[in-house]
């Protein structure tokens, strides 16, 4: 009798093992899917948009957005702007200066600068949502780094109205293998957060 396991207990153990197996497979599939999108996001087509959005920090993102705007790929330019004095550890001095030069003057009708109330991609999307409503834009091009493109597009598509066409263009992204590993781990965790943040949008 000591080695006898009741049928109900045995079924419970099998169910627990099955659930654990399904969870493990789902987790591996999730990580593989997100990682593949982080490494190789769907490239933008470069089509014309009502506005091009430079997400912060602007090390390579802002110059790319400025280039697209200057080339006529968008009618208006939007910059997620943290004055250089606020982000000395994030933005290279020359890039911080560039943002300051453009945004501090506040004298361009077709250039909009904002500092999101929530310091995150989700906060930036909420700020852009207000601009989209005010300006009645139907299409935007978001400029960000390659490792951030998949999550950025997911968030903006969830936050903005469904009739707004969202495209993401990646800026030049040069990282070491170690940095790529770090970003892959971070983006996997951040994407889970993004799912919950945008759940009720």
pLDDT confidence tier of residue 69, bands split at 50, 70 and 90: very high
pLDDT at 9: 61
CA angle 15, 16, 20 (to 5 degrees): 115
Long-range contacts, stretch 151-154, CB < 8 angstroms, 24+ apart: 151/38, 151/121, 151/187, 151/190, 151/191, 151/194, 152/55, 152/121, 153/41, 153/42, 154/191, 154/194, 154/198
Dump pLDDT digits (tens) for 79-111.
998 765 444 444 454 455 566 677 777 667 889
Look at residue 167 and tell me if it is in a domain: yes
Sign (positive/negative) of CA torsion 173, 177, 178, 180? positive
Other C-beta atoms closer than 10 Å to the C-beta of 182 total: 13
Answer yes or no: is 164 within a domain.
yes
In-domain check, residue 174: yes
- Would 3 be classed as within a structural domain? no
Helical residues (DSSP H) of the chain, grouped into ranges: 7-39, 61-70, 93-103, 121-135, 149-159, 177-197
Provide the number of structural domains found in the chain.
1
Please indicate, yes or no, if residue 26 is contained in any of the structural domains: no
pLDDT at 10: 58
CATH number where 125 lies:
3.40.50.620
Instruction: Please check whether residue 21 lies inside any domain of the structure.
Output: no
pTM of the model: 0.79
Q: Which range of residues forms the domain containing residue 66?
A: 49-197
Provide CB contacts within 8 A for 35, sequence distance 6+. 184, 188
* Domain-located, residue 181: yes
Phi, psi of 20 (to 5 degrees): -65, -40
- % the chain with pLDDT above 70: 72
Let me know if residue 17 belongs to a domain. Answer: no
Pick the closest to residue 91 from 127, 122, 62 (CA basis).
62
Structure confidence at residue 18 as a pLDDT band (50, 70, 90):
low
Average pLDDT, the chain: 82
What is the Cα–Cα distance from 190 to 192, expressed in whole angstroms? Answer: 5
Range ranked top by mean pLDDT from 8-22, 50-64, 72-86, 127-141: 127-141
Summarize pLDDT for 144-195 with one digit per residue, the tens.
999 999 999 999 999 999 999 999 999 988 888 999 899 999 998 999 899 9
């Amino acid at each position: 009798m000591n080695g006898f396991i009741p049928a109900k207990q045995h079924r419970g153990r099998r169910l627990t093992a099955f659930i654990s197996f399904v969870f493990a497979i789902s987790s591996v599939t999730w990580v593989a899917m997100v990682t593949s999108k982080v490494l190789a996001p769907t490239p933008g087509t470069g089509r014309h948009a009502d506005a091009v959005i430079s997400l912060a920090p602007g090390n390579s993102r802002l110059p790319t957005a400025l280039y697209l705007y200057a080339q006529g790929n968008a009618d208006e330019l939007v910059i997620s702007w943290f004055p250089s004095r606020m982000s000395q550890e994030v933005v290279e001095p020359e890039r911080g200066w560039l943002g300051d030069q453009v945004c501090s003057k506040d004298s361009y009708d077709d250039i909009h600068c904002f500092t999101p109330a929530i310091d995150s991609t989700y906060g930036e999307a909420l700020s852009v949502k207000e601009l989209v409503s005010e300006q009645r834009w139907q299409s935007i091009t978001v400029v960000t780094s390659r490792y951030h493109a998949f999550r950025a597009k997911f968030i903006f598509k969830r936050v903005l109205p469904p009739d707004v066409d969202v495209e993401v263009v990646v800026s030049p992204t040069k990282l070491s293998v170690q940095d790529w590993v770090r970003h892959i781990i971070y983006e996997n965790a951040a994407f889970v957060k993004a799912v919950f943040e945008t759940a009720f949008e």
